[in-house]
Structure 1
Amino acid sequence: MDIALIAISARPLAASAARAGFAALSFDLFADLDTCAHTARCVRVHKKNGCAFDGDDLIQALHSLAPTGLPVVLGGGLEDDTALMTRIAERNPILGNAPAIVRVLKDPIALAALAAHLGVPFPAVTLEAPTAETFGGAPVLEKKIGGAGGAHISRRAPDDLSPPAPGHYLQREVEGQSLSLLLLSNGSAARIVGASRQWRSQDEEHPFRYGGATGPVALPEAFAAEMLKGALSITLACGLVGLVSLDFVVNDDSWFLVEVNPRPGATLDIFDTDPLPPLLGLHLAACGGKLPEVLPVPAQAHAAGVIYAAHDMVVPQDAWPEFVADRPPAGASVLKGAPLCTVRATGPTPEVAEARMRERTQALLRDFGLGAVMEPAP
């Protein structure tokens, strides 16, 4: 084994590792067909609290299967449990940002203070019960500290002045387009990998759930220079290393930083493609202090959209189309609201790539009967 990969869904990391020629050991919550195909060994870890790691099960699996000292790359799903990150690092070094750095960036008050110090627009936040003046009458979101994927976000009722739930915070909602900027950093300098446009896959219970992304896209001309300056200032002020992404909301009049993800994320699906070198290889080199002089631009635009199960269901026996990733095996049970698979497409522009992805999604939903209700167990 060359490396261990740990994420809620390790498939994007695993695909990049395979592209780089690494023999990887992966730990995630799905162990889908694609992750298994891309890795030397794929381990499904027990879940708790819906879609989070059972930390004890993860540590036991890591100790049983990964040699002491085998380096680890972390993807999404651990930022809300930096104590678990610390447990991992005690035996297997993390090639990426340390738990202490992640803890600061996922502390909404600390990030707000850092953004204010660096002159980066950031929506008002609080850990306390809001007053009428806290958000100036603007709509308010409640978010889980360290949460990922957007399913943890809800909109507050206008007259709700109660404190956030434990482990949550309140943030002023800003309207606009969601954009994400992927950077490669060695702690003292950074390179721009690319920007992507994101959208929601919302239902009544999950109005802000992550739906997918397309890119590369251009940042809005009116704000591009400021956004790049803000992203670089945050990244370098924290000494971040490897692949990191910064999420923004942009409208006609303003832009705001809303989140920093100090690890490789979902947009690997967009950017880990020719003529770019394998991004996991670039991540490891950057963690060791090395950056490429320049990074090429992807030859085409790419789009990747997540399909969530509309009902409890059993995965059908039909063969998955080649444009589908994160494929669960036939006969697997998928609960309502859980991610089912990812649909991908390419095109000459982001708009064409996204349109093709949406056409494929509709065809898949129709042809596979993916709205079917799972039959109760006998």
Structure 2
Amino acid sequence: MSARVLEDARPGDTILIAAQSGRALAQAARRAGLRPLVLDLFGDADTLALAEHHQPVAGRFGGGRLGGESLLAHLGELAARARTPPIGIVLGSGFEGAPDLIAAIATGFPLLGASAESVAHLKDPDRFAALCGRLGIPHPTISRDPVADRAGWLLKRAGGSGGTHIRAATAGPAPPGAYFQARVPGQAHALAFLADGQSIVVVGITEQWSAPSPLRPFRYAGAVERARHEEQALAPCMLAQIEDAVGRLVSETGLRGLASADLLVAGEAWWLTEINPRPGATLDVLDRRPIPLLAQHIAASRGKLPERQAVPVDAAAAEICYAAAGYAPMPPVDWPDFVRDRPRSGTAVARDAPLCTLFATGPDSAATKEMLRSRAATLRALLDLTEGYP
């Protein structure tokens, strides 16, 4: 690896981004003064506006025509269009279940984030559960064998994300690529952190909620980070326990970069349900510190942890808006400024698919969530006006 790669990122550097949706990472790259080259599945309007160059792909990472040589060819074509060679690649959602693909990508571009081995260790349900057990970290019991009391278990897909892969437990053994996880009570939280392979620095804590649908009862909806003056979401003693647990996991797995720990919290009890070894869905909410978060991600990936930054003065929240109806094609829409991930006119959006993301800030978390409700109603009214579009 060249000395240039080991230096900190500098304003104007080019960076590769690959994700199911690359908009949030592209926005974070621009905030850090970088020029993003984006490969993703959607090519939303704001993604195209942010990207130095964009490469659209269709399908699913790690399988079919997006696996192996095809994806590497796409990335090579994208990198060749840049004015300067990219300093590395940041992988977003979609690669959790494909560590072999991550390893292949690493042969062509420096990885800025988790290694293939770290992902394999953290996203393999059996390895992760065994590691938590050995380290004494509270983690729901898992099984691949038939479960007697199905009401007390969930069915999850290994390497899944966004909650859309979670179902009620089924009869018989878990299907290939899936596993059962015992239900535990509690409110969903996430601890975002930066890791250098040995230790962590906490970025922030978010509270999360779901948007259930008949087929996807645990579908992820949104998250809020409380304002600085509010009582924080986790009690100091519990936060210390969780930080210690996540730090030990990082030391065991060598995880680097920005990542998050998903938690369920009930009273004084907590469970770590999984580690997301990548920048996640709360990036918009968290990237409000003085030092751009993607710059910190790159530095942590290279073994340099920053000091912990203060919680921002205001609260912030983001929520996915799922399509109440299908759009084929999407009509022209004059999107409000609070809308992100804006589908382009003429593209297709299936019913119940992610339509866009709503963002809000406010003096406290309650007011900010209420602002999201108001903005969702505004958006619904705006979309109702497009129903007559031919």
Residue 195 (structure 1) aligns with:
205
Aligned 1:363-378 pairs, distance under 5 A: 363-369=378-384
Aligned 1:72-87 pairs, distance under 5 A: 72-87=89-104
Aligned 1:321-336 pairs, distance under 5 A: 321-336=336-351
Q: Distance in 1 between matches of 2:127 and 2:389?
A: 45
Aligned 1:62-211 pairs, distance under 5 A: 62-67=75-80, 70-130=87-147, 132=148, 139-156=152-169, 160=171, 162-211=172-221
Q: Distance in 2 between matches of 1:372 and 1:113?
A: 52
Q: Distance in 1 between matches of 2:125 and 2:182?
A: 12
In the TM superposition, residue 337 of structure 1 has moved relative to its aligned partner by: 2.2
Q: 1:69 to 1:36 in 2, by over 3 A?
A: closer
Q: 1:109 to 1:169 in 2, by over 3 A?
A: same
Q: Distance in 1 between matches of 2:146 and 2:313?
A: 49
Please list the CA deviations of residues 265-322 of structure 1 after superposition, one character each: whole Å capped at 9, or x if unmatched.
111111101x431111001111111122331322211100001112221323221000
Structure with greater helix share of residues: 2
In the TM superposition, residue 324 of structure 1 has moved relative to its aligned partner by: 0.3
Q: Distance in 2 between matches of 1:138 and 1:368?
A: 38
Does 1:32 find its partner at 2:44?
Answer: yes
Residue 289 (structure 1) aligns with:
303
Q: Distance in 2 between matches of 1:370 and 1:20?
A: 37
Please list the CA deviations of residues 127-146 of structure 1 after superposition, one character each: whole Å capped at 9, or x if unmatched.
2333x3xxx77611111100
Which secondary structure state, in structure 2, belongs to the residue aligned with residue 213 of structure 1? Answer: strand
> What is the identity, as a one-letter code, of the residue corresponding to 1:183?
F
In the TM superposition, residue 41 of structure 1 has moved relative to its aligned partner by: 0.8
Residue 312 (structure 1) aligns with:
326
In the TM superposition, residue 46 of structure 1 has moved relative to its aligned partner by: 1.3
Q: 1:374 to 1:263 in 2, by over 3 A?
A: farther
Q: Which runs of 5+ in 1 are unaligned?
A: none
In the TM superposition, residue 175 of structure 1 has moved relative to its aligned partner by: 2.1
Picking from 15, 18, 29, the partner of 1:6 is 18
Which secondary structure state, in structure 2, belongs to the residue aligned with residue 66 of structure 1? Answer: helix
Q: Which runs of 5+ in 2 are unaligned?
A: 1-12, 227-231
Q: Distance in 2 between matches of 1:252 and 1:113?
A: 25
Q: 1:119 to 1:70 in 2, by over 3 A?
A: same
Asked if the contact 1:25/1:39 (under 8 Å) is kept, the reply is yes
Which secondary structure state, in structure 2, belongs to the residue aligned with residue 92 of structure 1? Answer: coil
Q: 1:191 to 1:100 in 2, by over 3 A?
A: same
Q: 1:40 to 1:93 in 2, by over 3 A?
A: same
Bigger mean CA deviation after superposition, 344-353 or 211-220: 211-220
Q: Distance in 2 between matches of 1:222 and 1:96?
A: 29
Does 1:254 find its partner at 2:254?
Answer: no
State the percentage of identical aligned residues. 39
What is the TM-score of this pair, normalised by structure 1?
A: 0.91
Asked if the contact 2:60/2:94 (under 8 Å) is kept, the reply is no
> What is the identity, as a one-letter code, of the residue corresponding to 1:33?
A
What is the TM-score of this pair, normalised by structure 2?
A: 0.88
Q: Distance in 1 between matches of 2:100 and 2:252?
A: 23
Q: Distance in 2 between matches of 1:123 and 1:52?
A: 33
Number of matched pairs: 366
Which secondary structure state, in structure 1, belongs to the residue aligned with residue 245 of structure 2? Answer: helix
Please list the CA deviations of residues 129-185 of structure 1 after superposition, one character each: whole Å capped at 9, or x if unmatched.
33x3xxx7761111110001111110125xx2x011111111001121100000011
> What is the identity, as a one-letter code, of the residue corresponding to 1:90?
T
Q: 1:268 to 1:53 in 2, by over 3 A?
A: farther
Asked if the contact 2:191/2:205 (under 8 Å) is kept, the reply is yes
Does 1:231 find its partner at 2:281?
Answer: no
Asked if the contact 2:151/2:168 (under 8 Å) is kept, the reply is no
